Amino acid sequence: MSNTLVDFSYLYEVSSNDPKYIYDIVNLFLENFPGQLIKLEEVIRSQAEWIVIQKQAHSMKSSVLFVKIQGLFDSFYGIEMLARQTTGREQMLEKLESVLATYKLAYPVLIAERDKCNPNK
């Protein structure tokens, strides 16, 4: 249910180990998270207004509450706080690069968990 990179324990707990629920949540995450991540990357790299970056980072924190990927919540929080303080674009880029690298590693773990819980197999 969990490993060092992706922790599904909370998802299993709130779902009472229901494989269909877990499948649905992980699948929804896989459908939505990449687009959110692309948007965050765009607003940071384009040097969008601070409030735009802050809101995007804030919304992404909730994405990783059920599907916990190591370090992502803290990175999104850090980006949000930097944007709130209207400073640290270079630090934001470093956090973003870390998030992108971590998600790339987590992606196959997410796919495997989703497929393991697929109710149609």
pTM above 0.85, yes or no: yes
Label each residue of the chain as H, E or C: CECCCEECHHHHHHHCCCHHHHHHHHHHHHHHHHHHHHHHHHHHHCCCCHHHHHHHHHHHHHHCCCCEECCHHHHHHHHHHHHHCCCCHHHHHHHHHHHHHHHHHHHHHHHHHHHHCCCCC
For residue 53, pLDDT over 90 is answered with yes
- Which candidate, 113, 119, 53, places its Cα nearest to that of 89? 53
pLDDT at 33: 97
For residue 120, pLDDT over 90 is answered with no
For residue 1, pLDDT over 50 is answered with no
pLDDT at 3: 60
Condensed to tens digits (0 to 9), the pLDDT of residues 95-108 reads 999 999 999 999 99
Condensed to tens digits (0 to 9), the pLDDT of residues 12-41 reads 999 999 999 999 999 999 999 999 999 999
Q: Sketch out the chain's domains with CATH numbers.
A: 6-116 (1.20.120)
